[in-house]
Amino acid sequence: MHISPIQLVIIGGGPAGYTAAIYAARAGLHPVLYQGPNPGGQLTITGEVENYPGYRNGITGPAMMEDFQAQAERFGTIVKTGTITNVDFATYPRRLTLDSGTSVVAQSVIIAAGASAKWLGLPAEKRLYGKGVSACAVCDGFFFRGKTVVVVGGGDTAAEESLYLANLCQKVHLLVRKDQMRASKIMQERLFKRSNIQVSFHTEVKDIIGQESIEAVETVHTLSRTITLIEATGLFVAIGHQPNTSPFLPYIEVDQQGYIQTKPGTTQTNIPGVFAAGDIQDPYYRQAVTAAGTGCMAALDAERFLKETSKDFLKKIH
């Protein structure tokens, strides 16, 4: 059965996906956006957003994503529920399979499926997310100015988060599960120079105390099994992110961490007409505004690709 190809399919309903949709729709590309398993992306589990330009009084993450979606739909974006679970990028047009089992074909694709923070797996972690539990110091550190916070992790991300928070908070407790950190030497040197950062090795989080907000963090020493209670109002989990790239393998080239690799200065992947935007290709910045910026770039790249290939494409389907 012949399926009419869609000019542009956007995979992911976060800031990158919706910004791409806004630009693509205004350019007359009639994009279809699939929201994925977490419509709105990581911002839907974020409390107050104060660092996105244009919202002078701040806005909640879910409300902001509603604005993004409404703006994309205003210009004609078709927003659909559903998750792309499999792709065939070996043929053209590109074939995408949804979790419902149905297939769509697309002349161009923007992958903006994001990344997922790795969590400790504690029940209290979910309950208190956005109420003291965070995975982003740059996003949420401001709310803990002058307070005591706990950071969990042993790599560069944990070190960076701790150093950032040390500029805002009275005290930062960094909990490292092993006997040493994985962070680079220079990051560790910076950490140990800060008088308000206390590093505890062989230490794990046992529980988070508090109902509506964090009151304390219960820790356990992995060798002695000694339990300690740290009075704190914030817990920052910095044990890494996992880019949501599995449906696009083995076609799309990724780095050692699993992030999609794009050609420098563009959003183009190794597959012609397939572009990547947002956190799925960004292991470093991971901000809503940078994701939106790459979403814009991806839409412009897709528009250029479609203009250049439309004649060849029309020849193929007739």
Active site residues: 136, 139-140
8-state DSSP, 153: -
Compute the distance between CA of residue 86 and CA of residue 103 in angstroms, rounded to an integer. 9
Rounded to an integer, what is the distance from CA 167 to the centroid of its chain? 24
Compute the distance between CA of residue 311 and CA of residue 151 in angstroms, rounded to an integer. 55
Percent helix, strand and coil across the chain, each to the nearest 5: 30, 25, 40
Q: Comparing C-alpha atoms, which of 1, 7, 223 is closest to residue 110?
A: 7
Is the separation of the CB atoms in 73 and 26 below 8 Å? no
- Residues sharing a CB contact under 8 Å with residue 20, sequence separation 6 or more, in sequence order: 10, 31, 110, 112, 277, 295, 296, 298, 299, 302
- What letter represents residue 312's amino acid? D
- Quote the Cα angle for 158-115-295, to 5°: 115
Structure tokens at 18: 């919706």
Compute the distance between CA of residue 164 and CA of residue 160 in angstroms, rounded to an integer. 6
Helix (H/G/I), strand (E/B), else coil: 126: helix
Is the separation of the CB atoms in 209 and 218 below 8 Å? yes
Query: Residue 168: how many CA atoms within 13 Å on its side-chain side?
Result: 17
